[in-house]
Structure 1
Amino acid sequence: MQGEKEFTCNQTAALRTLARYDEPVQLIEESGTPMPAPSIDTANTDISSEDDDLHHLSHSDLVNIVKQLRNEIHRKTALLSSFNTLFQDISQKREAIVCVLQLIDNISAIKSSTDKLEVRSIAATARPQSIGEEWQQHVATHTASCNWWKSGNPRSLKSCSGNGQQPSVTHSNPPQGTTAAGRESGPASATPRGVPQRPPKGPKRKLNQQQPSNKNNSSFNNFCQNCKTSSLLAIWAACIPNLHNKDKLIILSANLRGFRTNIGELTHSFILKEDIDIAATVETFLDDTVEESFGKIPGYTHWFRRDRISGHGGGIALCHRETLQVQHLEINVPDWMEVMFFRITMEDSSALLLCVMYRPQWQGRDPLLYLTEHLDDIQTSVNCQNTVVVGDLNQHLVMHASDDLIGVHGLQNHVDFPTHILGGSLDPVLSDFGEAVICKPLQTIGSSDHIAVLTHVNIRPHTQECYEREIWNWRHADWGAIQQSLRNTDWQESLTGDANALIEWLIQYFLSLQREYVPHHSYTVRPTDQPWFGYRCQLASDAKCKAWRRP
């Protein structure tokens, strides 16, 4: 442009030549006067042009534009809300998928480890038809049991060192046609080849083949009286727990995976052996077809149960020592929750809130959120100062909810060891006692894959002991003999010494006459006896029980 600031149309051809555009320029209209250069306002160019366009629009056009804008806004709003709903659904489905995948992993791990499980109990099974198969498997893998099973000679009765009568019959040789275990076989002398017969222990006498082998036979019950008494005392001591005050509260928490299957081993190998005060179990698999008195342990209360309402599995059961003051709390909780609350009275008149909960893996975090929200209200309503939570919570799947429960209520998980055979810690013990609680693992109970947890709480619970009462039947007293004894007493010779000695002698003398001529007996008052359940009621109850047991 040769330094000129203005540009005219005549210079277009030269510019196109420089730019190597070969096509000629066709001028449509040419003006003789050059148009002035427009002034460009960079700040208001777009706004002014839009305003000008809007000013030229008619009323109907403006209304149409507003309607289109509103429709666009509604469409965008609906799109955003659908995205939000989809995002929430994806989040919930993601948590469900994670739970399902973890459950599948657990099932796969359990299935792969079933061959490695050791059978701990053979008789305690809910499938009587499988006892024979399990016993055959046990015999096949244990040499000592195999030798005993093939020998055909059971152990004879051991001799007694007491002064009573010795048993006249030892059942070393079972009747022909059966062996020690009651299985059918050939003659008694038929023994597998290569298996030597054990020499009999003590005197033997062949049993009459035609004599019925019932338990009412005198030869079966002809034991030494001293041995019978000692055996009864041993059984009574094993069945009835100690009724003395303790310095600590002992709680057993376990996932049974079947109450009916494992109640035998739970009773004898855990509750009675460890001298348990409170036994809390989950996954009992019980329903309304099982009697409430099923599995009652001597010296303990009946099992407080919360069975699963719909479906199979689940369930909670708890029993405690009869001497403890434990109250089952009727708390209104959702039907789908498996939780029970108990109030335990301590020696210093304080109270402990015990919560037993089972949270299945498919329930999510709702049970723990319920505890986090309502635990303080429940504790305040029943006037409890401390809290203990036991059970199977599967807290590894809902760690955030578990941490919230522990943090909000100031609790502490005292279980720092695995409670499952695969290595997971699924059965916590939460409390606000701090170092006053000590937990230790025991063993698996029967066919369960969970390890029982033994908890020692260093607080003294309030207990009620049994005591003896002396019942005097004054209506049948021999008053004539008492009067005759008083007449025959030499009072001048007996009443000597100071006043204290005379009072002591008179008291002992009248008490001796009372014991001699007034019928009396001892009566044991138990903590669980009702105030109206007196001696006469006890006699009537015993007579009724004897009538039912009479053959």
Structure 2
Amino acid sequence: MVILTDVELDADIAFITETWLKPKGDEGVVSQLRPDGYAKPLNFARTTGQSGGGICVIHRESLDMQCTALTTMTYFECCQCKLFINGRSLLLICIYRPPPSSKNKFTPKQFLAEFETFLGGFSLNVHLPIIIGDFNLRYDNQTETYVCQMRDILKTHLLSQVVNTPTQKKNHILDWVVTPDIDLINNLQVMDKCISDHKVIVFELPHCKPKLVKRTITCRKKNIDNQALSTDIQRAAEDMKHDYN
């Protein structure tokens, strides 16, 4: 399992897909994902009883975020986070789409239909979210039927996919950043941190974040004899001087 310090990123928010964490029993692992200054990680584990999948969200304590799992989806896992900054809100959605297999019997056609319905659920008077995650569709393959259909779906909803370099070891773009406004995504980078067969995607949002929470740590010393402590320190210093002479 990777934590933020492992990838040497000073990220304010991190979304991790395909965590393989369980709803219960992995609390100790989840707690280890929390660096200093960050809120308790949110583990949106797969609830179907099958292993695999899962999404984890980690963010700084100073950020005002509300995250929930969207459990009505069948063909992809999804969580949404509303970020409040300076009286404004931004909706971030992370998805993980399991690849089709003989076990789950999922098909790309089913995923596209459900994803299009999902996008259609956003009211016209509400800004569309930024959607990130592992789509397990090779966006770079412009001749693949389902990729072409997905491109059409995004275009219909005035959305743009902005990752243009491979995100996986087989040199395909499987991990996407989808946005209603390309100006919302700044300094996007795809980094190979050798922690997975997928790479790390980082980008900046053009929002002023709140100041970091400062903590003051105090210690009560009412049981300490200051005179005895001073004498012990002087004696230790004399002993060290004697040892090195």
Q: 1:361, CA displacement in angstroms? A: 1.9
Mark the CA change 1:380 to 1:523 in structure 2 (over 3 Å): closer, same or farther: farther
SS in 1 for 2:153: helix
Q: 1:302, CA displacement in angstroms? A: 1.8
Amino acid aligned to 1:442:
M
Normalised to the residue count of structure 1, the TM-score between the two structures is 0.34
CA distance in 2, matches of 1:465, 1:455: 19
Instruction: Select the residue among 302, 305, 324 that pairs with 2:40.
Output: 302
CA distance in 1, matches of 2:217, 2:88: 32
CA offset digits 1:448-475 (Å, max 9, x no partner): 11111111222334x265368xxxxxxx
Instruction: Select the residue among 396, 410, 423 that pairs with 2:171.
Output: 423
The question of 1:441 aligning with 2:185 is answered: no
Mark the CA change 1:444 to 1:279 in structure 2 (over 3 Å): closer, same or farther: same
Where does structure 1 lack aligned partners over 5 or more consecutive residues? 1-259, 469-521, 525-538, 540-551
Mark the CA change 1:332 to 1:356 in structure 2 (over 3 Å): closer, same or farther: same
Q: CA RMSD in A?
A: 2.8
Instruction: Select the residue among 10, 26, 33 that pairs with 1:290.
Output: 26
CA distance in 1, matches of 2:45, 2:98: 14
Match runs of 1:185-204 below 5 Å: none
Instruction: Select the residue among 363, 386, 389 that pairs with 2:131.
Output: 389
The question of 1:353 aligning with 2:95 is answered: no
1:399 corresponding residue in structure 2:
147
1:466 corresponding residue in structure 2:
213
Q: Which has the higher contact order (CA 8 A, sep 6+)?
A: 2
CA offset digits 1:110-160 (Å, max 9, x no partner): xxxxxxxxxxxxxxxxxxxxxxxxxxxxxxxxxxxxxxxxxxxxxxxxxxx
Mark the CA change 1:413 to 1:284 in structure 2 (over 3 Å): closer, same or farther: same
Higher strand share: 2
CA offset digits 1:28-77 (Å, max 9, x no partner): xxxxxxxxxxxxxxxxxxxxxxxxxxxxxxxxxxxxxxxxxxxxxxxxxx
Where does structure 2 lack aligned partners over 5 or more consecutive residues? 101-105, 139-143, 221-245
1:329 corresponding residue in structure 2:
68
Instruction: Select the residue among 108, 116, 126 that pairs with 1:372.
Output: 116
Higher radius of gyration, 1 or 2: 1
How many residues align structurally?
202
Higher helix share: 1
SS in 2 for 1:435: helix
CA offset digits 1:335-394 (Å, max 9, x no partner): 5531111111232x22211111111220324334323223353x449x853421111102
Residue 351 of structure 1 contacts residue 385 of structure 1 at CA under 8 Å; is this kept in 2?
no
SS in 2 for 1:361: coil
Match runs of 1:84-233 below 5 Å: none
Instruction: Select the residue among 157, 170, 191 that pairs with 1:409.
Output: 157
Q: 1:332, CA displacement in angstroms? A: 4.5
SS in 2 for 1:407: helix
Normalised to the residue count of structure 2, the TM-score between the two structures is 0.72
CA distance in 2, matches of 1:323, 1:279: 14
SS in 1 for 2:38: coil
Q: Percent identity?
A: 23
Residue 277 of structure 1 contacts residue 321 of structure 1 at CA under 8 Å; is this kept in 2?
yes
SS in 1 for 2:129: strand
CA distance in 2, matches of 1:352, 1:402: 24
CA distance in 2, matches of 1:350, 1:376: 23
Instruction: Select the residue among 43, 58, 66 that pairs with 1:319.
Output: 58
SS in 1 for 2:31: coil
